Chains A and B, each alone.
Chain A
């Protein structure tokens, strides 16, 4: 089979695959779990009985918020499958007119932790939301999850995940608008802007001592 035929066959499989992609997200409060497709179609909504005690308005808000998380996770999974099947260059071309994947739009990485792809192992669901836990989507042995293959190497290791917003719309710590009033289900889980992680200072390039010690250093680079 030629390379062209392989690519056509891969594209055929991709269409079928993308139509079946779903993801499951659990609200940070644990009160709602939603499974949704990349088109936002809800496949299942599981409500914890305690959720009903928050009142009808809160229940509706919980489900809508969790549905967005699940949809974003499904879209992200679709992007990952796209990159794996068609290659990074084609995936980037799709991004050009379809917009950046959800992971690049999210300013708060905690929001990314709330969404889990349906094929994600169950043991990663709890650990992914613990503060300080490693990023399971970029962990070794998990290619194509969370971070698209064509973006996997762009992240600055000194920055938290999600801070490299391709559109520049990410909320910078302390410079964004004030956080809205916390909904009743978020008690005990502050989600305001996080303090910026200190970054190592850039090396000083105009050190006179270094220059006179080795005046031809720059020419050898």
Chain B
């Protein structure tokens, strides 16, 4: 058995553990919204936004400004999703793997702190 096969097997085993965990807790999603609620983005870690909600008032921003706002909110939602995934998986993996998660873009905490987010501050919405 070569190293690639062993790595694939370890990944498969970890994937099975994570799948079992997610099956019990529901998918890990990150959320962020504009301070005025114009744009809300829901995204899974390492994926394109799953849902983008735009308020009717946001259309008055104009096409360019609305596009830029979507990018900004999506970036925060992605950071939130990464942090949630790290917290969710940290209890399933060894410390070295947890550090590797941060190295590949899923740090434990969203950098800069998120104050505008109106989601995810309750236990019920957090990863379990």
Residues on A lying within 8 angstroms of B by beta carbon are 36, 39-49, 51-52, 55-57, 59-61, 63-64, 67-68, 70-71, 90, 93, 96-97
**Chain A at the B interface: mostly helix, strand, loop or mixed?**
helix
Establish whether residues A59 and B59, one from each chain, have CB atoms under 8 Å apart when the complex forms: yes
Residue of B nearest to A48 (CB): B63
**Chain B at the A interface: mostly helix, strand, loop or mixed?**
helix
A-B CB contacts (within 8 Å), total count: 87
The docked-state distance in angstroms from the alpha carbon of A59 to that of B12 is 38
The docked-state distance in angstroms from the alpha carbon of A51 to that of B78 is 25
Chain B residues 44-75 with CB under 8 Å of chain A are 44, 46-56, 58-59, 62-64, 66-68, 70-71, 74-75
Task: Name the A residues within 8 Å of B11 (CB-CB).
Answer: 97
The docked-state distance in angstroms from the alpha carbon of A17 to that of B89 is 27
Say yes or no: A42-B71 contact (C-beta < 8 A), given A93-B4, A93-B8: yes
Q: Is B26 an interface residue (CB 8 A)?
A: no
Task: Name the B residues within 8 Å of A93 (CB-CB).
Answer: 4-5, 8
Task: Name the A residues within 8 Å of B58 (CB-CB).
Answer: 56
The docked-state distance in angstroms from the alpha carbon of A57 to that of B51 is 10
